[in-house]
Amino acid sequence: MADSNRIHSIDIMRGLTLVLMLFVNDLYMPGVPAWLGHMKADFDGMGLADWVFPGFLFMVGMAIPFAIGGRISKGESNIIISRHIAVRTVSLLIIGVLMLNSGRVNAELTGMSKNLWAVLMYTGVFLVWNKYPESDNNFFTVTGLKLLGMALLTFLVFRFNSGQEANNGSIITGWWGILGLIGWGYLVAAFIYLAARDNIFYTTLAVLFFLILNILSQLKILDFLNPVKSLLGVIIDGNVPFIVLSGTLTTLILKKIPAGDYKKTIVTIVTIGLLTLAGGFILRKWFIISKILATPSWGMICNGISLLLFALLYWIMDIKKQVKWAFFLRPAGENSLTTYLAPALLYHLIWITGVPVLIYKQSGIPLVVIAGSIVWSLAMVGLTALLLKLNIRLRL
């Protein structure tokens, strides 16, 4: 399948996973059905929220052959592409760590509340990583805004104090945060694609390598690597790279099969999805299904769900050309970082001002709570569309 043929289902499924992510993140309230949320670490099973993040990771992997492949087709050298991958990864790690620490702010020691620190932090992120309109006469304005954002973030990092023993109260990397996990997964998958290109065999070997790494890590066989796990733990654990690379492999299969042979494409993806699901349940004999523990059984089952869901959306949108119904998901799918971060900033603004926007959270009626979170998640996609019109969109 040619790279020039845009696959609508990729954008839409990425948008769907983001909307679901906003939905489940907003849903932490008493009375909500357990199957919609996250399961505890030692519970053998998963809810909707336990699939959403790996579903997005899978889509990150699917986009890599198009993004990196596009740069290759434009004649960019491996050095330039490597620099792009590195900068994007570091950006994700920085934002992820800042988000992770926003909940650790000690107001008295930091000199400002958690909400104010978070509002200033997200403002700095938008100033630094916004994609400003290209113009010959706005260079100094754009540079000034970016420098202002950098100065603001630097101030917040040095001002930060958690009042905890960890790292003497300073910023910690911890588990790197959601965006940090995405960054590590992207780093591995992007460099593997840059080396292997569209070679399905080598990419499959990479997928299997990180699955085996995940299994060995869960069995404590890799404990001798503990000294470097504080930095490279996400890679050593294998789970995140395994999921991202599985998405990359799916795109390579799409590109390999001729565009007109859609039946073969659907059958291939569905078959792999079912086999992956079966593999996950087989591994359940040794590893419980747990997102928090990042078990290989959980990773394979999530990949299986993602493959089957993508096959369905691919058939509806790219084969049957039924795309109009999903128009509301497109802004989120095409501007994922903006869609994810803008609501986080809005939350803290609401909490600072005390404006009663989230009144549905006070209801003890599950249907009201769920309906409120659905409306919130869809409204946040609308917020992304509005920000785009105001030339506010994050690009790493």
Distance CA 70, CA 9 (A): 19
Residue 101 near residue 162 (C-beta atoms within 8 A): yes
Instruction: Look at residue 135 in the predicted model and tell me its pLDDT.
Output: 79
pLDDT score of 42 more than 80: yes
Helix (H) or strand (E) holding 157: helix 139-159
Distance between alpha carbon 9 and the CA centroid of its chain, in Å? Answer: 17
pLDDT score of 137 more than 80: no
Nearest in space to 336 (alpha carbons), one of 86, 6, 3, 20: 20
pLDDT in tens, 99-129: 999 999 999 999 999 999 999 999 999 999 9
Nearest in space to 110 (alpha carbons), one of 174, 158, 177, 165: 158
pLDDT confidence of 5, banded at 50, 70, 90? Answer: low
pLDDT score of 2 more than 60: no
Residue 49 near residue 24 (C-beta atoms within 8 A): yes
pLDDT score of 195 more than 60: yes
Name, of 46-50, 166-170, 241-245, the range with top average pLDDT.
Answer: 241-245
The Cα-based distances of 322 to 62, 115, 375 in angstroms read: 21, 43, 24
pLDDT confidence of 37, banded at 50, 70, 90? Answer: confident
Distance CA 44, CA 258 (A): 41
Distance CA 213, CA 367 (A): 42
pLDDT in tens, 267-277: 999 999 999 99
pLDDT confidence of 14, banded at 50, 70, 90? Answer: very high
**3 state DSSP class of 386:** helix
Nearest in space to 1 (alpha carbons), one of 85, 72, 69: 69
pLDDT score of 315 more than 90: yes
Instruction: Give the count of alpha carbons within 13 A of 251, CB side only.
Output: 29
CA distance from start to end of the chain: 27
Encoded amino acid at 164, one letter:
Q
Distance CA 163, CA 223 (A): 30
**Least confident range of 154-168, 285-299, 364-378:** 364-378
DSSP conformational letter for 284: T
Distance CA 286, CA 279 (A): 12
Instruction: Look at residue 281 in the predicted model and tell me its pLDDT.
Output: 97
* Domain residue spans of the chain: 8-104+172-389
Instruction: Look at residue 69 in the predicted model and tell me its pLDDT.
Output: 94
Q: Which residues lie below 8 Å from residue 243, measured CB to CB, with a gap of 6+?
A: 54, 57, 58, 61, 185, 299, 302, 303
The Cα-based distances of 343 to 59, 217, 352, 394 in angstroms read: 21, 35, 14, 13
pLDDT in tens, 180-189: 999 999 999 9
pTM, two decimal places: 0.94
Instruction: Give the chain's length.
Output: 396
pLDDT confidence of 7, banded at 50, 70, 90? Answer: confident
pLDDT in tens, 324-349: 999 889 999 999 999 999 999 999 99
Mean pLDDT of all residues belonging to the chain: 94
Instruction: Look at residue 28 in the predicted model and tell me its pLDDT.
Output: 74
Instruction: Look at residue 139 in the predicted model and tell me its pLDDT.
Output: 81
Instruction: Look at residue 4 in the predicted model and tell me its pLDDT.
Output: 43
pLDDT confidence of 15, banded at 50, 70, 90? Answer: very high
pLDDT score of 31 more than 80: no
DSSP letter string, 18-61: HHHHHHHHT---TTS-GGGSPPPTT-S---HHHHHHHHHHHHHH
Nearest in space to 65 (alpha carbons), one of 186, 159, 177, 198: 198
Phi then psi dihedrals of residue 247, to 5 deg? -65, -40
pLDDT confidence of 3, banded at 50, 70, 90? Answer: very low
